[in-house]
Amino acid sequence: MASYTPMIQQYLKIKAEHKDAFLFFRLGDFYEMFFDDAKKASQELEITLTSRDGGAADKIPMCGVPYHSAAAYIEQLIKKGYKVAICEQTEDPKAAKGVVKREVVQLITPGTVMDGKGIHETENNFIASVTAFPNGYGLALSDLTTGENLTVFIKRIEDVISEIYSVGAREVVVSSSLEEQTVVQLKERCGATISIEDGETDERIEIAEQLKSQELMTTFMRLYTYLKRTQKRSLDHLQSVQVYELEEAMKIDLYSKRNLELTETIRSKNKKGSLLWLLDETKTAMGGRLLKQWIDRPLIRAGQIEERQEMVETLIAHLFEREDLRERLKEVYDLERLAGRVAFGNVNARDLIQLKESLKQVPAIKDLVASLNHKMAKERAERIDSCEDVLQLLEEALHEKPPLSLKEGNLMKDGYNQKLDEYRDASKNGKDWIARLERQEREYTGIRSLKVGFNKVFGYYIEVTKANLHLLEDGRYERKQTLTNAERYITPELKEKEALILEAENNICELEYELFAELREKIKMYIPRLQKLAKQMSELDALQCFATISENRHYIKPVFSEDHVEVIDGRHPVVEKVMDSQEYVPNNCEMGESSQMLLITGPNMSGKSTYMRQIALISILAQIGCFVPAKKAVLPIFDQIFTRIGAADDLISGQSTFMVEMLEAKNAIVNATKNSLILFDEIGRGTSTYDGMALAQAIIEYVHDHIGAKTLFSTHYHELTVLEEKLSQLKNVHVRAEEYNGTVVFLHQIKEGAADKSYGIHVAQLAELPDDLIARAQDILKELENTGTKPELPAQEPKSAVKEKPAQLSFFDEGEKPAEKSKLSKKEKQVLDTFKSINLLDMTPLEAMNEMYKLQKKLQ
């Protein structure tokens, strides 16, 4: 340190306190970065890397960005998951006796961004905090842009990760003592920036007073402490912490949300093509965010669902009122984020004009809702607070079209402040006096080109061209400046008026800024009311959105049952929209006491996966309060949805397709209840045929016997269809396909019974594989069919058949070879015979483990 200049020493001292962030160090009109920050920033931002003398032997790497355009560069770094510490000069350089004082005024992180392109209008920008306890994990969420705060206690880290992924939190705050494995999971599975906060506080804040659980209090206060430490400004807009339980809503795990494409598609990760894309007919940013929250957390209480349904039904019945409501909502800006900007201190006059224009719409919206002729609608209208006093305050204070800058003046209306009016009068009268002076001097001197001008260096002056100088009386003016073609003069009266005008204009700008700051503080007092109003407007927006979609796409109101599924002419909502120009083939789905499981067979491309997803999406639509795409829909209220659809390697965690398959299957089997919905698409295809078939059958039997959940199981193992005879609650259905002149036609119709053919080669033909390859595949298929080598169901397979079949790689140990058997001891043979006689599927996992332990003891 001693070898560096005082300024570099100051930089290093501040940098030591913010090691995990880029330090934007203010030097004049630039933010500079040095050392490793400079090297890394020059690469990430693609800016020139230079160097400077810092007092040491070697020059110091340096790069920088202009302060007036720094926001764009900061945004780039935040988007890549970095943090930026803004270090400003905190004293006037002219008054500084040594190195200018500097300090970090804000730490900008992925979870604390307040504006810019990184903030999407219809998405929350949550920052999360995770704390480990002996019996589980505390999770807290906060959105600085809207002031929302949530907290929940979760037992499993998998559910914590799923919840963070669902809300899209880009930053997670943890303690330095959290297990490294958990930190790695949070970072890799959630794609989040990890921040450390070990600061402890006993501070009691009003927004967290209702937290009775010490675990939730500890978790939220860790997050609050981090926000307070890094933002260094008012957090008055933060709303009361809402405690929720995962069991209060339908649980949809991370994999299922991805597989069902609820908010983004699997391939492109874009909104287009997802359920959210289909439904989003909202007119406000607030409504768009609430809609996503509703999709993420469908309801499980019939009363809450029916309350939404009634409002949707009422809005459908009142077309003109609904269209008027949509037009009014279009004029409502983002009240939640405007309130956040007011509290954060970065609101400008145009933002407050948006607030004013929004509040102007509220009385009409309130009247519209009250006119819907429904008790629930009238009650909702009565609860709406129009915030008329806020509107009146803004009407009285602000100009209709204020400038973007807060220091240019012209912010406040005439009549709002007496002192301001006096300054404006002085400025206006002074300028009128200047205009009169110019007219008088032109008449007196006879010089038509004489003019009174102004510049920042000399102030006001009288300018006369050199050609007209002979017309001036000696001593009338005092020479001030000589130009090439003219002379500039002043008079004592002109200088006096100049002082009055300039003083008034300077005072106007300063006073207007002070008045605006006071207005902002006054608006702060109304933030809780504005946030409550924002919630009411967003709910109305989401409900009108459901009504609009339901009417336009001919959806019907679903009915809820105890344990029965009856969907008549159901349609996949997203696929139907994408196929608007084509006719969609609807399908029925009936599941009851005798058919809790549907085993679906049929060729690839026939629509098995679409049919399965369709049932899940119809259930989700029903439980968020929307109508559904069907002619009739009777549904139970599902507590959870599990899916195993599609095949993809999880490269991040180093897991193969088959392992991902097994993990997703395990998640469903372990956590599902009889009130859950399970979708299994071709389980077992990631391993060898026999293994896959055996696993598929075992999973079907386990779900059937031990869970009893509504299950849709699609498979290419046609041998499994015989299970219908063995399992009382399993029913075979298939997707119809017909063959005409050697070409397969997929009818996309679900019919009872099992499929009779696979049509795999026909699908390859549709994919336009080479003709020679297709012909060879057909020859091989005929040969296999003629020789009868088609494998039978594993449970029915005679031992002799197994020996005769060609060997294949297996996930399981297929037993000892005959030569090896002859070497077994008597005791080993006894153990092997005992093991063969055990029926593992009838045991609990613990019983199986105990039995295995006993056998191992005998062998040892």
Mean pLDDT, rounded, of the chain: 88
Query: How do residues 335-378 score in pLDDT, each as one tens digit?
Result: 999 998 998 888 999 999 999 999 999 999 999 999 998 999 99
Q: Evaluate if residue 656 carries a pLDDT over 80.
A: no
Structural domains of the chain, with CATH: 6-108 (3.40.1170.10), 126-248 (3.30.420.110), 280-387+526-552 (1.10.1420.10), 418-520 (1.10.1420.10), 559-758 (3.40.50.300), 817-860 (no CATH)
| CB of 201 closer than 8 Å to CB of 221 | yes
Going edge to edge, which strands form the sheet with 136-143? 193-196, 171-174, 126-133, 136-143, 148-154, 242-243
Structure tokens at 363: 């009385």
At 716, the amino acid letter reads H
Query: How do residues 49-99 score in pLDDT, each as one tens digit?
Result: 999 998 877 899 999 999 999 999 999 999 999 999 999 999 888 888 889
**For the residues 729-736, what does the mean pLDDT come to?**
92
Which residue(s) pair with 249 in the sheet?
Answer: 299
pLDDT for the residue numbered 805 = 46
Q: Evaluate if residue 633 carries a pLDDT over 80.
A: yes
The residue ranking higher by pLDDT, 16 or 659, is 16
CA distance 211 to 682: 46
pLDDT for the residue numbered 685 = 72
Q: Name the one residue in this structure whose structure tokens are 């400008």.
A: 348
Alpha-carbon separation of residue 1 from 34, 39, 54, 248 (angstroms): 14, 20, 11, 57
Residue 594, annotated as binding a ligand: no
Helix (H, G, I), strand (E, B) or coil at 118: coil
Query: How do residues 149-198 score in pLDDT, each as one tens digit?
Result: 999 999 999 999 999 989 999 999 999 999 999 999 999 888 899 999 99
pLDDT for the residue numbered 804 = 46
Q: Evaluate if residue 211 carries a pLDDT over 70.
A: yes
The residue ranking higher by pLDDT, 530 or 829, is 530
Of the listed ranges 183-192, 281-290, 491-500, 752-761, the one predicted with least confidence: 752-761
Q: Name the one residue in this structure whose structure tokens are 């009014």.
A: 328
Q: Evaluate if residue 394 carries a pLDDT over 50.
A: yes
Alpha-carbon torsion angle 70, 74, 77, 78, nearest 10 = -170
Query: How do residues 101-112 score in pLDDT, each as one tens digit?
Result: 999 999 999 999
Residue 608, annotated as binding a ligand: yes
Q: How confident is the model at residue 424 (pLDDT cuts 50, 70, 90)?
A: confident
The top-scoring range by mean pLDDT among 548-557, 728-737, 802-811 is 548-557
Residue 603, annotated as binding a ligand: yes
Continuous segment of H or E residues that includes residue 143 = strand 136-143
pLDDT for the residue numbered 231 = 92
Of the listed ranges 291-305, 328-342, 673-687, the one predicted with least confidence: 673-687
CA distance 713 to 702: 13
Q: Name the one residue in this structure whose structure tokens are 């996992």.
A: 845
pLDDT for the residue numbered 684 = 74
Which 8-state DSSP code applies to residue 707? I
pLDDT for the residue numbered 153 = 97
Please provide residue 216's backbone torsions phi and psi, each rounded to the nearest 5 degrees. -70, -40
Cβ neighbours around 796 below 10 Å, total: 9
Query: How do residues 782-837 score in pLDDT, each as one tens digit?
Result: 776 676 554 444 444 443 444 444 445 555 554 444 444 446 777 777 778 787 77
Which residues are within 8 A (CB) of 329 and not within 5 positions of it... i.e. 6 or more apart?
283, 284, 287, 361, 365, 537, 540, 541, 544
Largest alpha-carbon pair distance within the chain? Answer: 137
Of the listed ranges 412-416, 672-676, 755-759, 786-790, the one predicted with least confidence: 786-790
Continuous segment of H or E residues that includes residue 801 = helix 799-804
**For the residues 127-144, what does the mean pLDDT come to?**
96
Q: Name the one residue in this structure whose structure tokens are 């224009």.
A: 357
Residue 604, annotated as binding a ligand: yes
Query: How do residues 494-526 score in pLDDT, each as one tens digit?
Result: 988 888 888 888 889 899 999 999 999 999 999
| CB of 564 closer than 8 Å to CB of 634 | yes
pLDDT for the residue numbered 501 = 85
Of the listed ranges 243-252, 376-385, 498-507, the one predicted with least confidence: 498-507
At 88, the amino acid letter reads E
pLDDT for the residue numbered 810 = 55
Residue 213, annotated as binding a ligand: no
**For the residues 833-858, what does the mean pLDDT come to?**
74
Residue 270, annotated as binding a ligand: no
Residue 124, annotated as binding a ligand: no
Go through the chain and tell me how many residues it has: 860
The pTM of this model reads 0.81
pLDDT for the residue numbered 690 = 77
Residue 609, annotated as binding a ligand: yes
| CB of 160 closer than 8 Å to CB of 129 | no
Q: Evaluate if residue 426 carries a pLDDT over 90.
A: no
Q: Evaluate if residue 636 carries a pLDDT over 80.
A: yes
